[in-house]
Structure 1
Amino acid sequence: MRTLAELTATDAQAGRIDWIGLRPERRGAMRPVSAAELRPDGLAGDHARAGKRALTLFQAEHLAAVAGFLGRGAVPPELLRRNLMISGLNLSALRGVALALDGAVVRITVPCAPCSRMEEALGPGGYNAMRGHGGWCAEVLQPGPVATGAPVRRV
């Protein structure tokens, strides 16, 4: 029988970076890009946040849940105001884990709770639609390039 530590250290597959968004200024619009440089304080060109909240990640598979809670067919990732949309890995299972994101390494730190901006971006009920689906914050362990389509793996 496998131990809990062995079970929690096993992923079915590598993940992938599906989308990258930059927010040049506080409360500014998100700008999708295909690649960016991850620095110690977050993505170059993004509104800087240092430490354990330097980068924000969102689970691609949660887009359908948020859209469903809103009664919509789809929700574009830029409305969620997170930096990276990751598919294929359960980010909730990776808290405290170091991840290789293309040429950079980050550690998932704390949940990225929704803010009141979700009502502005998504309409009435946007805040509640995002609860439990807000994504994660991460600290930068090793700066480097990130690009859409790049694999995401445990280090």
Structure 2
Amino acid sequence: MQESSPAQDEDQDALVDALAQTAFVLTSALNRIAADNDLSITQLRLLGTLRGRSPQMKRLADHLGLEKSTLSGLIDRAERRGVVQRRPSESDKRVVEVTLTPDGESAARRIENDVRLAVEPIIRRLDAADRDALRVLLERMLGPAPL
């Protein structure tokens, strides 16, 4: 294994710090948006994850990093709010999928707009080419969406 130079270590440290600071800013915005919509941050993640998707319960639990029983409680509460529904998979009736209801889709669109408004002042500091380059780099760094 090749050793890194002090300059490379400093660059790596600066990148890690910049990513952490970005995460702090985004987390703060997401927490505020969740509170404004009377949601927990996990409920906010659930709505964001389900936009345009109907994952199986197991895959959803894995994606959100939740135990199956914790996810079941989360889905129960979201069903009572009328924003999600469970349904049997069309390909395997033993498998349960989760999908947004029309009210859930409306809430997800509203929240997506709130997130866009919260992040816009930050990304507006970059010109169009830099924004596109940042998006490409983040997509490469994060890899394909698991769902």
TM range, smaller chain: under 0.3
Higher strand fraction (1 or 2): 1
- Higher relative contact order (CA closer than 8 Å, sequence separation 6+): 1
The structure where helix makes up a greater share of residues is: 2
**TM-score, length of structure 2 as denominator length:** 0.26
Larger radius of gyration: 2
